[in-house]
Structure 1
Amino acid sequence: MSKVVFSNIVKQFPAVGGAPGGLAVNNLDLTIEEGQLVTLLGPSGCGKTTTLRMLAGFETPSAGSITIGGRDVTHLPVNARNVGMVFQSYALFPHMTVRQNVEYGVKLLNLPRREMDERVSEILETMALAQYADRAPSRLSGGQQQRVALARAVVTRPKVLLFDEPLSNLDAQLRERMRDELRAIQLRLGITSLYVTHDQSEAMAISDRVVVMRNGVIEQDDTPRNVYSRPGTAFVAEFMGKANILEGKVESVNDQGARVRIAEASFDLAPGPQPLRAGQAVRCVVRPEYLHLDPAGQLEAKVRRVVFQGGHVEYLAEIGGQECTITDARYIHSGIAEAGQSLRVAMDTRPVWILPENQANEMGKVA
């Protein structure tokens, strides 16, 4: 079993040489079920990398416990935890061939030579690296080097696989392709995995669950779809892709939800996570793709700036005095509006989400 459990984890860094210390992780509880890939996501300084390093054994918690498969590893050294690590920098040995790099970890297991050779050959085939076995890392592409680093991490058959922003050094196209490859390999091997990234699209594409962190605490732990379409806090709504947070007022409430007035129009919205009352001020998460240019649309948008993105056009606009972003993928047929122009906009209300009342005032406080 390779279930991972963080229980009441605290990490306090002490002040060193006049530099102030700080609370990096605060009372973190997190469970990663066997075979799952869970991604820690958040801005710099949110505690995600510190959490990963505590699981790896590079940092020791100030309080709390970490278990792998029911075994307490909180104070065990790195080499006693049976975890594999894929680093951002690949950390390949330049003087070794691909095969020698992959062999390096498994040599520490003191296996019979035949079994070691079989393991190495098998993982090189799995990673499509067999033909490069005798090459130096410097003669490989960035994607191939990343696969070597992954092969070296999994050849030891670890209970848990850790990824520390492994794709951040790759260009955009290669990063997307390698992202899909990493996920396919993780699923095939069935290894429990913890992945750290600051890239929202990467997190949503590969994860069973996304854990959004801020200031050392978990803001939301949910499926990628729910984190995007049902953000639990204003911070998550803003951090997970582009989000329009539009202010409105509840006109009426019924069993199906609430009728909310936004700017000059009223919309029937699904019930939120807390009770609503008529007259209540609310903030609604409206993703740019939920707004559509439509001559018969209920809302008027004043275009402030136009950003051409190739596959779509982004309009930075105002609706009822509130800033918002609108995407238009049909500009080839309808043309592109100009700054200063007014557009009619329709809103798809099905995925619109009313923020919890105690989170509605957090916008603008993203750390």
Structure 2
Amino acid sequence: MSKVIFSNITKRFPGITGATAVDRLNLTIEEGTLVTLLGPSGCGKTTTLRMLAGFETPSDGTITVGGRDVTNVPVNARNVGMVFQSYALFPHMSVRENVEYGVRLLNLQRAEMKDRVASILDTMALAQYADRSPSRLSGGQQQRVALARAVVTQPKVLLFDEPLSNLDAQLRERMRDELRAIQLRLGITSLYVTHDQSEAMAISDRVVVMRNGVIEQGDTPLNVYSRPGTGFVAEFMGKANILRGKVETADAAVVRVQITSTMTFDLSSDGRVFRPGQEVRCVVRPEHIRVEPEGIMAAKVRRVVFQGAYVEYLTDLEGQECVFLDTEYYRTGVAEVGQTLRLSVDSRPVWILPENEADAMGKAA
């Protein structure tokens, strides 16, 4: 069993005023799953990863791996593999020697070590490069070597510290898919750290969004994106319009919210209680807004950004900023700044934010 549990983990750095990097964090990573810690710089995600690796010791709380308390266990006794942002390959060693380095301390028989190294090189499609030095490999190949060195020891937990940040955009996307495929094939419990939202959504079983040392929300990528628990999560997970509105009517299942003088949404209450006249905020993703001649609301264009596959518009919607994406511009043309557009919204994916965001913060994930 390699289930990972963080229980009330806090990390304070002595001598630095207000330096609580992680604050009472509770997180469970189920066996064989990949959980991504996502958030801006300084949110505590890397510190959390380093505490699981053993590079940092928690100020309070416990960390268990497979039911074993590893809070104060040395790095070399945790059986944890790590893939670094910088690859950390030895330049004077060949690919094979770099991978072998990971198993030399396991006291394996020579034949077993060779078999294990050969097998992982084959799995990573690196066998043909076994005798090359890292300097003769591409960035993606070097990343695969770093991954091979981490998994050849058959660790209970695999850690990724922003492993793709040094790659160009196209290679990054391809390597992202490769890493996920390998993790699924090997079935290793994994914790992944990144600040890239699309990367987190593409590879994760669960995404944990952090800010200021606490967990704001932890759920499946679909739920974190489509049902954000706070305004921060909504805006951090891609683009989002957070529109102010007022409850017109509400019952046990449906809430009617007026956003503008001409636009109302009938939304799910999601088990929450709303009252007529209550002010709320609704999350509307840009991709759910479209230009239509008979659209129910008028929006004045303030900015136009051409993105190739779509045109992004920033508009004024009765005093509220509203961003939307037009993928039909090649057919309808591109609007100009100052022009008024008629817009329609698909209300099905619209989500009402919790009334008190503090209630959604710091929860176990």
Q: In the alignment, which of 140, 143, 146 is matched to residue 143 of structure 1?
A: 140
**How far did residue 313 of structure 1 move?**
0.5
Q: 1:12, 1:24 within 8 Å by CA — same for their partners in 2?
A: yes
* RMSD, aligned α-carbons: 1.2
Match of 1:100 in 2: 97
- Aligned pairs for 1:170-185 (under 5 A) are 170-185=167-182
Q: Distance in 1 between matches of 2:357 and 2:345?
A: 23
How far does residue 271 in structure 1 lie from its aligned partner after superposition?
Answer: 1.5
2:342 corresponding residue in structure 1: 344
What's the CA shift string for 1:58-102, capped at 9, x where partnerless? 000001100100001000100000000000000000000000000
**Partners of 2:138 and 2:43 in 1: how far apart?**
32
CA distance in 1, matches of 2:353, 2:343: 22
Correspondence for 1:326: 324
User: What does residue 86 of structure 1 align with?
Assistant: 83
Q: Does 1:246 align with 2:243?
A: yes
* SS in structure 1 of the partner of residue 106 of structure 2: coil
1:152 counterpart (149, 152, 161): 149
**Residue in 2 that maps onto 1:11:** 11
Identity of aligned residues (%): 76
Give how far 1:110 is off: 1.2
Report deviation, 1:296: 1.0
- Whether 1:257 and 2:237 are equivalent positions in the alignment is no
Compared CA separation, residues 141 and 273, structure 1 to 2 (3 A): farther
Corresponding position of 2:185:
188
1-side partners of 2:316 and 2:103: how far apart? 59
Aligned equivalent of 2:219, options 203, 212, 222: 222
Q: How many angstroms apart in 1 are the aligned matches of 2:153 and 2:31?
A: 18
- Please state whether the residue corresponding to 1:43 is helix, strand or coil: coil
4+ residue runs over 6 A deviation: none
Distance 1:328 1:273 in 2: 34
Quote the residue 1:42 is aligned against: 39
Bigger mean CA deviation after superposition, 271-280 or 216-225: 271-280
Does 2:129 correspond to 1:132? yes
Q: Does residue 270 of the first structure (1) align with residue 281 of the second (2)?
A: no
- Contact 2:9/2:61 (<8 A) preserved: yes
TM superposition shift of 1:324: 1.4
Deviations, residues 244-275 of structure 1 (Å, cap 9, x unaligned): 00011111113431111111222211214521
- Structure 2 counterpart SS, 1:28: strand
In structure 2, C-alpha distance between the alignment counterparts of 1:269 and 1:29, rounded to whole Å: 31
Amino acid at match of 2:24: N
1:306 and 1:339 in contact (8 A); partners too: yes
State the TM-score, normalized to the length of structure 1. 0.96
1:21-43 CA deviation, whole Å, 9 max, x = no partner?
61011111110010000000001
C-alpha distance in 2, partners of 1:44/1:145? 25
Checking the alignment, whether the CA contact within 8 Å between 1:272 and 1:356 is kept in structure 2 is: no
Match of 1:355 among 353, 356, 364: 353
Structure 1 unmatched ranges of 5 or more? 363-367
| Letter matched to residue 354 of structure 1 | I
Deviates more, 1:348-357 or 1:250-259: 250-259
Question: Partner amino acid for 1:133?
Answer: A
Q: Residues 82 and 158 of structure 1 are in contact (CA less than 8 Å); yes or no, is this contact kept in structure 2?
A: yes
Other-structure match for 1:302: 300
Distance 2:182 2:170 in 1: 19
1:162 aligns with 2:159: yes
Contact 1:258 1:271 in 2 (8 A): yes
Measured in 2, the distance between the counterparts of 1:94 and 1:109 equals 23
Give runs of aligned pairs for residues 62-73 of structure 1, distance below 5 A: 62-73=59-70
1:20 deviates by: 3.8
The 2-side partners of 1:57 and 1:267 are apart by 49
Any conservation in 2 of the 1:272–1:354 contact (CA below 8 Å)?
A: no
Gapped regions of structure 2 (runs ≥ 5): 361-365
C-alpha deviations, 1:137-185, integer Å up to 9, x for none?
A: 0000000000000000000000000000000000111100000000000
| Partner SS, residue 357 of structure 1 | coil
Aligned mate of 2:199, from 189, 193, 202 = 202
Deviation, 1:359, is: 2.5
Instruction: Give a deviation string over 1:95-146, Cα, whole Å, max 9, x none.
Output: 0000000000101101000000000000000000000000000000000000
**Which of residues 273, 285, 288 is equivalent to 1:287?**
285
